[in-house]
Amino acid sequence: MIRFQSGGRTFRRPAAQTPDPAPAVPQARVPARPVTPAPVTLSPEDARARLRRGEGFAALVVTGPLNLSGSRWLRTLPDWLRCTALTVDDCPHLSTLPADLQADRVSARRCPELQDLEGRLSIREGLNLSGSGLRRIQADLHATRLILAGCRDLAAIGGAVSVAHLDVRRCAALTTLDAGLHVTQTIDVAGSGLRGLPGQLRAGLRWNGVPVDARVAFHPESLTGRDIMAVRNVQRRRVLLERIGIDRFLEDVGGLVLDRDRDAGGERRLIRVPFDDDEDLVAVLVQCPSTGGRYALRVPPHLRTCREAVAWTAGLAVHDYHPTQEA
């Protein structure tokens, strides 16, 4: 309280009120970032030798390419690894790749125990896992090219996967792709279990490297022999023939009969369909004497008789082909 006088009168003015302090705001706790152990830096030769001796490294920097191909002793790699290139092809007991891996190129082909791919992988050029035992990918993965061809047990690609080119040829168990998968340029689906792509995935389709559309890749039953005859690009025409099958193609377009004869299954015919800018398609039509099923077998275009053609399918010259019983 402050007092002062004016003209004999005393006035009182209340003291200024000090505002109550604002309540303390609890600070959010920021999770600590994982601490990377101090890495050991080695030459490629020293790294291979020390890994061969069974030395373990939490973090390893290799000053060049690390080639461990064919190493039956290799089961694991350092959790944190940096190198220019990592090659671990044909390592039968390797079960994991590093959880944190950076390299220009990585090749881990034909590693049957490599079944799960997890962690954080940054591969500047290509990651080749073809023919491995992969069943699942759940990783933060960035690469220019991801090659999974021949991973027959691979059923799922998940996580944050971003690549320019994806190769899933012959991945028969892979029937769907995760909606979060990011492919910017091409995806090769030949022989995979896929029957379509997620709606947001706009990558160009390939079939064994040949550009195709969704109809060829996923709906071959809608193709006709006339579609194939109208195609001028030789590589694309061969893909369409593969997708429709020789039997259906000949049913649609017919062909020139070069020869006829009979065997235990019934009549055989040798058929030719000429192409202007490619070798003629020549096939022998045979019938199985046991099941009655008819089959068209493509043979070299220089053959002129059914007997020559059937002998060729058996890997024999016509003068060596003398079947005693056909069943």
CA contacts within 13 A on the Cβ side of 9: 3
Q: Does residue 188 share a domain with residue 67?
A: yes
Q: Does residue 276 share a domain with residue 187?
A: no
Confidence (pLDDT) at 155: 97
Confidence (pLDDT) at 57: 94
Residue 207 lies in a domain: yes
Residue 19 lies in a domain: no
Q: Does residue 234 share a domain with residue 199?
A: no
Q: Does residue 90 share a domain with residue 133?
A: yes
Per DSSP, helices labelled H in the chain are 44-52, 214-218, 225-229, 234-244, 246-253, 306-313
pTM of structure = 0.81
Residue 106 lies in a domain: yes
Residue in the block written with tokens 């389709």: 205
Q: Does residue 234 share a domain with residue 203?
A: no
Per-residue pLDDT of the chain (327 residues; tens, 9 = 90+): 555 454 555 545 555 555 555 555 555 454 455 566 789 999 999 999 999 999 999 999 999 999 999 999 999 999 999 999 999 999 999 999 999 999 999 999 999 999 999 999 999 999 999 999 999 999 999 999 999 999 999 999 999 999 999 999 999 999 999 988 999 999 999 999 999 999 889 899 999 999 999 999 999 999 999 999 999 899 999 999 999 999 999 999 999 999 999 988 899 999 999 998 889 999 999 988 888 888 899 999 999 999 999 999 999 988 888 776 554
Residue 81 lies in a domain: yes
Residue 135 lies in a domain: yes
Q: Does residue 175 share a domain with residue 128?
A: yes
Provide the domain limits for residue 280: 225-320
Confidence (pLDDT) at 126: 96
Token pair of 55 as six digits: 């030395």
Q: Residue 61 is inside which H or E element, if any?
A: strand 59-62
* Contact criterion met (CB below 8 Å) for 228 and 211: no
Dist CA 60 CA 47 (whole Å): 9
- DSSP labels for 290-310? TT--EEEEEE-TT--SHHHHH
Q: Does residue 138 share a domain with residue 65?
A: yes
The residue type of 304 is R
**Which of 206, 222, 238 delimits the end of a domain?**
222
* Contact criterion met (CB below 8 Å) for 166 and 146: yes
Confidence (pLDDT) at 18: 54
Token pair of 131 as six digits: 């023919």
Residue 279 lies in a domain: yes
**Which of 156, 190, 222 delimits the end of a domain?**
222
Residue in the block written with tokens 């790294």: 47
**Which of 198, 222, 246 delimits the end of a domain?**
222
Q: Does residue 180 share a domain with residue 266?
A: no
CA angle 78, 83, 87 (to 5 degrees): 80
Confidence (pLDDT) at 33: 52
Domain count, the chain: 2
Residue 184 lies in a domain: yes
Q: Does residue 213 share a domain with residue 87?
A: yes
Q: Does residue 278 share a domain with residue 183?
A: no
Q: Does residue 250 share a domain with residue 139?
A: no
* Contact criterion met (CB below 8 Å) for 265 and 326: yes
Q: What is the DSSP letter of 192?
A: S
Q: Does residue 187 share a domain with residue 241?
A: no
Dist CA 304 CA 319 (whole Å): 14
Residue 33 lies in a domain: no
